[in-house]
Amino acid sequence: MPVELNHTIVAARDSDVSAAFLAEVLGLGEPVPFGPFITVETDNGVTLDFIDTDGDIDSQHYAFLITEDEFDEIFGRVTQRGLPYWADPARRRPGEINHNDGGRGVYFPDPNGHLLEIITRPYGSGG
Ligand SMILES: [Fe+2]
């Protein structure tokens, strides 16, 4: 049986707001409550399960593989919202995207300081 990532938990100051942000920016389906979580499902069946916390939130990194057309749409929503964005995870190249592996990629923050990334080519796929 293949091993597949099924879900992960994402700490949030406000899980409703954070789940809605992710779903809207990425163009995914409406968030769904499940127990104490608000879940957002990606197109390969992984759910990000947002949960409220009053404690410190350590910034995590979540990367999403998308098509070139989706990049135009999602990056359009990032800029429309006036979000900061960077070409690199160290945030040394603000206001730029990258062309790693012959595709396009960019990093931007979610409402909790998690660093989101969209890429149109998987790491290392450019040869
Ligand atoms: Fe990454």
Residues 6+ positions from 36 with CB-CB distance below 8 Å: 51, 52
Distance of CA 61 from the midpoint of ligand 1 (Å): 7
- Residue 116: what pLDDT? 98
Distance of CA 105 from the midpoint of ligand 1 (Å): 9
What is the C-alpha separation between 83 and 36, in angstroms, rounded? 28
What is the C-alpha separation between 76 and 70, in angstroms, rounded? 9
Distance of CA 92 from the midpoint of ligand 1 (Å): 15
DSSP classification of residue 113? S
Distance of CA 96 from the midpoint of ligand 1 (Å): 16
Tell me the two tokens of residue 20.
């809605």
Residues with CB under 5 A from ligand 1 (ion): 63, 117
Residues 6+ positions from 27 with CB-CB distance below 8 Å: 70, 73, 74, 77
Tell me the two tokens of residue 55.
């404690």
Q: Which residue reads 């603000």 in tokens?
A: 94
Residue by residue, pLDDT tens for the chain (127 residues) are 899 999 999 999 999 999 999 999 999 999 999 999 999 999 999 999 999 999 999 999 999 999 999 999 999 999 999 999 999 999 999 999 999 999 999 999 999 999 999 999 999 999 7
CA distances from 102 to 20, 46, 68, 120 (A): 31, 26, 11, 9
What is the C-alpha separation between 60 and 1, in angstroms, rounded? 29
